[in-house]
A and B are shown apart, each in its own frame.
Chain A
Amino acid sequence: MRHRVTIENCNETYPCSEQQTLLQGMEQLGKRGIPVGCRGGGCGICRVQVTSGSFLKAKMSRSVISEADESKRIVLACRCTPTSDLSISVVGKMEKALRAECQIEPEDEVSVAAVG
């Protein structure tokens, strides 16, 4: 079954089947700003926070995803598969690259501009 995954940082939506990891689906977007790491739950590059929806997760390296992270639904996209439509927010190292790709201004610069 295919689900829709929305990346909140750049308002991009992609299809992802229950047999695909969130990262595999995202890779199909073909954006340069998706820093794919090891794809095995070891390196922590593909950190995302799942803000809505349900998913299954496989084991992730504790050195990159803490128990506190997991309780906040911060996971590695390469180790999670969707079981419903999902909204995710890219956090950590992926965030800047994705924002650059979507040409969204970094938040701090936006706020400075607003103040100025």
Chain B
Amino acid sequence: MAFKGVLRPGLIQIRVLNMDEAINHYQNILGLNIVSTEADGRVYLKGWDEFDHHSVVLRQAESAGLDYVAFKVDSNDYLREIEPKIVAWGLEVDHVPAGEQPGVGPRIGFTLPTGHRIELYHQIDMADDHPGITNPDIYPRRPEGMGASRFDHLLCYGPNIGKAREFFCEVLDFYQPEKVDLPEGDGSLAIWLTASNKAHDIAFVEHEEPGKLHHVAFLLQDWNEVGAAADIISINDVSLDIGPTRHGITRGQTIYFFDPSGNRNEVYAGGYTAYPDHPVRSWDFDHVGKGIFYYERALNDRFLTVLT
């Protein structure tokens, strides 16, 4: 197997202000399926094309935003071997016991210099309601709502994104398909990082306040599904941010909107296939508008200021 180590962002825990409103949004609008609701009130969901037990965890809290994102790794050996490397790079590692989330084995966690908590895990049960395996149909039944097939990536805002890039690339073997340069100096305003063939698994924008969430993205099949998602947003009076449009960066087709607690969501289709030997695509600061919103060719204020 050529694809080793970190496989993908597999779990994300999001804080919501009102659980009933959040369930309606993630289940009926995005089209995720509820896997379980636990005694502590957390609700577990997954997309129709995900094999693992769940991918999205909703937690009711006093503030909206991101608790953590957890990356699935290919083995228990990797999980054991990576821990001292993380510590050697300078981050403190803590341990989350198996069963803290239903169906999930032990996790390790640490906080990036950007203020975001990242976790790694290997073991997770297969979902009962998983995609077909033997003579598989294309999907088990027609998905609800937008029919988001899986949790795809996230964009984080925080300080020291250059350090985050160093950590992901040097310790976890990610690479950087794309970046936006700061107007002056060698630093980056924004970086796109991946452990896979996807143009990004996680992205960062340099920002004063640590630990902020810009958006959580879910995968759609194509431009038609992005259009249908826009219809669903209007039919249900969901708070729209921008789109349907396209990103110059990653080339993804996209629409941004907000969950009822103000966490930004994206549904995303397309995007190029990344390889670690490709050159890093770079955008200078003067072209960032086109990079982010390819059709509008201008950033809006909301992209830089509206965060949870």
Contacts and interface: CB of A to CB of B under 8 A. Distances in A.
Interface of A: 35-43, 45, 58-64, 93, 97
A43 B17 contact: no
Contact of A41 (B64, B241, B302, B306): B64
Contacts of A61: 17, 62-65, 261-262, 308
Contact of A42 (B241, B302, B305, B308): B308
A36 B65 CA distance: 18
Interface size class of B (residues with CB under 8 A): 20 to 34
Nearest to B15: A61
Contacts of A37: 262, 302, 305-306
Nearest to B307: A43
A35 B306 CA distance: 10
Dominant SS among interface residues on chain B: loop
Given A37-B302, A39-B239, A42-B258, A59 B65 contact: no
Contact of A38 (B62, B63, B262, B301): B262
Given A36-B302, A39-B239, A61-B261, 10 more contacts: A35-B305, A38-B258, A39-B258, A40-B261, A41-B64, A42-B64, A43-B308, A59-B17, A61-B65, A62-B62
B15 to A, nearest CB: 9
A45 to B, nearest CB: 6
A30 to B, nearest CB: 16
Contacts of A38: 239, 241, 258, 262-264, 306, 308
B259 interface: yes
Contacts of B261: 40-42, 61
B302 A62 contact: no
B63 A63 contact: yes
B259 A45 contact: no
Contacts of A93: 305
Contacts of A60: 17
Contacts of B17: 40-42, 59-61
B94 to A, nearest CB: 23
B18 interface: yes
B252 interface: no
A59 B262 contact: no
Nearest to A45: B306
